[in-house]
Amino acid sequence: MRAMVTDPAARGLLDDTAVIELGNEALILTHDMMAEGVHWHSNADPADVAWKLVASNLSDLAAKGARPLGVLLGFMLGEDEWDRKFAEGLAVVLKHFNVALLGGDTVTNRGDKRGLGLTALGAATHRPVPSRSGAQVGDLLYVTGTLGDALAGFELIDAGFDEVGPLANAYNRPEPRLVEGQALAPLVHAMMDISDGLLLDAERMASASKVGISIDLSQIPLSAPYISYRGETLESRIQAASWGDDYELLFTTSPEEIIRVTATVVGRVVEGAGLTLYDCDAQIPLPPSLGYQHH
């Protein structure tokens, strides 16, 4: 289907969102799906599923510096109790992010597993709208927050404990960086959210920008709970940098720019192509998998 996406608003699908110029405004439109058995275990809390569905779409808006205008839900009806908990969770997450449910559709599910879809609409707060493709040689590469918490949380949940700790919470209830995205939009050369792992997404940014990116793994920001759980070894940092669901922002800008958002320099934009990894001064080989390949 990629071949039929020829409208300039689609940005060649190199971005996670469509950017539509209309009158004086630029609309940001994104649609993410989640499928039972792929994006959530059948025994997951339906309220967590609702949270993640909304948060993952809002994260795409955050990466564009967009102000959310609302969401539309595509919901497959299922077992009453599950649906009720999902609806309660949806109300909670929409209120948390102050986002309106504008409509959508419900359908009966005749199958054994469900799929849910959410469309999020936003308005750009700065033009040009940030994209993956603006990184310039000499830029610093930044990441907001800490990485790997969601990975660690998933492992803990999967192993059957720590369902309410900070790591599990990072997995179940990510906080898209909407405020940071709007503050950064006027300052950045390139920006995207990290949904599939820092390394994979940084490689995509390098490719879209036709530059190289070097990352110093010793600079990967880790949280105290993550360090308690997995330590601060190089391997622990590589894992934190190569798994998804963090929903932090990855961006580049010139070293002179003053960034007023809490963010960590993890690398720089260089000539060439692709990703190069360092541990302090020592170059290290790329891991076999850079991140999580969604479908």
Name the residue with tokens 């799929």: 115
Pull the structure tokens for residue 109: 């599910």
Q: Does 35 bind a second copy (CB under 8 A)?
A: yes
The answer to whether residue 96 forms part of the interface with a second copy (CB under 8 A) is no
Give the footprint of a second copy on residues 116-155 (CB under 8 A).
117, 119, 121, 123
Binding residue for a second copy (CB under 8 A) from 80, 81, 112, 256? 112
Which residues are bridge partners to 188 per DSSP?
Answer: none
* CA separation for the pair 95, 233 (Å, rounded): 39
Q: Which two tokens stand for residue 81?
A: 């109790």
Query: Which residue, 267, 251, 250, 152, is CA-closest to 194?
Result: 250
Segment holding 124, helix H or strand E? strand 115-124
Contact region with a second copy (CB under 8 A), list: 113-121, 244-252, 260-268, 272-280: 113-121
Among 79, 96, 104, 161, binds a second copy (CB under 8 A): 104
Q: Which of 45, 85, 101, 163 binds a second copy (CB under 8 A)?
A: 101
Q: Does 23 bind a second copy (CB under 8 A)?
A: yes
SS3 state at 93: helix
Q: What's the gap between Cα 209 and its chain centre?
A: 19
User: Is residue 227 a contact residue for a second copy (CB under 8 A)?
Assistant: no
Q: How far apart are CA 189 and CA 139, in angstroms?
A: 8
Examine residue 22 and tell whether it contacts a second copy (CB under 8 A): yes
Instruction: Output 77 or 282, the one with its CB closest to a second copy.
Output: 77
Residue 208 found at the interface with a second copy (CB under 8 A): no
Answer yes or no whether residue 43 interacts with a second copy by CB under 8 A: no
Among 24, 43, 233, 283, binds a second copy (CB under 8 A): 24
Q: Does position 87 bind a second copy by CB under 8 A?
A: yes
C-alpha distances (whole Å) from 52 to each of 24, 63, 118, 219 are 32, 16, 10, 28
- For every residue of 27-70, DSSP letters joined together read EEEEEEEEEBTTTB-TTS-HHHHHHHHHHHHHHHHHTTTEEEEE
Contact 116, 53 (CB under 8 A): yes
Neighbouring C-beta atoms of residue 279, cutoff 10 Å? 14
Least Å from the CB of residue 99 to a second copy? 9
Residue 7 interacting with a second copy (CB under 8 A) = yes
Using CB under 8 A as the binding rule, whether residue 29 contacts a second copy is answered as yes
Residue 106 sits in the site that holds a second copy (CB under 8 A): yes
76 forms beta bridges with: 107
Can you give the binding site for a second copy, defined by CB under 8 A?
A: 1, 4-7, 9-10, 13, 16-18, 20, 22-25, 27, 29-39, 69-70, 72-77, 87, 90-91, 94, 100-115, 117, 119, 121, 123, 294-295
